Amino acid sequence: MTKASEYIAKVRNNQTSKPSAAAKTVKWQGAVQAEGIEKLKGNGGMIVSPTKVGYIIMTSDVKGLERKFAAKKRKRNKPGVVLCGSMEQVKELAQMTPEIEALYQKHWDQDILLGCILPWKEKAKAQLPNDGTKDLMMDKRETSCFVIKFGKPSEQIAHELWTKYHKFSFASSANPSGKGNRGLVTGIGERIEAAADVIIEADDYVASIQPDKTVDTRYEQGVMVSMVDESGELVPRQNGRIGVQPAPIVIRKGLDVDKIMENMSQVFSSWNYEHGLYY
């Protein structure tokens, strides 16, 4: 038994779900979870879904976002997270230089979780519902974090929502703000349990991503890289030149940070590591 599976078993033995949570909890079976799609394709849906690093809240419109903020008591000054189920979706929504696109493609091909802070394309902003979603999904610079390869259960939902219903997938970690993401469905907290329409459980999947880690050593989040300057403009193309500034900045370490930094070194001559810079 791995350290991760031992931890899951221990928590399950010591903690049971309340009936209200159990009634709306479904086990991920490997395919797209229909219950999640049903809630998010409608108006104001909010679900909890598994990723490679733990559980997230997924929403698709302003009513869902408002519910998320209420459930988490979360500050609104952070960039919104946009889940992308394909490279085509990233290209359609976000402004990128050829170098940034190449970095995304590397991580897509290698199945590595990556999130970059980027400006929206004007045509993409026009696709956002005119209901206040924009104000909750972008920071004051009108940037968001566009994430790929975040884990099969949630990737499947994001892809189907976009391709079949042309609905966005917005995300936030499913744990009370300021508290760690333990990677277990029992760790999402009572407020989120009560607020969610559906909870998709896949503790075994989450544990399988970091099988030799414990709750104390596992990564609770993905890597975040800023590809913009202080005003929200894209960093310039480097074209192999050294010392071009502003340069990409790793602003949050996380799962596979070593692989991501290796890939960044292959694409960019200059980049910076400043964990915690944004927050």
Report the alpha-carbon distance of residue 206 to residue 54 in Å, rounded. Answer: 6
Instruction: With a cut of 80, say whether residue 21 has pLDDT above it.
Output: no
**Percent of the chain whose predicted confidence (pLDDT) is above 70:** 89
pLDDT at 276: 83
| Per-residue pLDDT at 14 | 42
For residue range 107-131, list pLDDT tens digits in order.
999 999 999 999 999 999 999 888 8
What is the structure's pLDDT at 180?
60
pLDDT of residue 11: 46
Question: Which residues are within 8 A (CB) of 38 and not within 5 positions of it... i.e. 6 or more apart?
Answer: none
Of the listed ranges 2-11, 54-63, 197-206, 248-257, the least confidently predicted one is 2-11
Query: Above 90 in pLDDT, residue 78?
Result: no
Dist CA 158 CA 56 (whole Å): 12
Q: Find the length of the chain.
A: 279
The C-alpha atoms of residue 201 and residue 76 are separated, in whole angstroms, by 27
94 secondary structure, DSSP code: B
Is beta strand 170-173 parallel, antiparallel or unpaired with respect to 81-83? Answer: antiparallel
Average pLDDT, the chain: 90
Tokens 């599976």 correspond to 5
As a whole number, mean pLDDT of residues 4-17 equals 48
Report pLDDT digits (tens) over 92-109: 999 999 999 999 999 999
Q: State which amino acid sits at residue 236.
A: P
Which residue bears the tokens 């995300």? 171
What SS3 state is found at 49? Answer: strand
246 upstream amide cis, omega within 30 of 0: yes
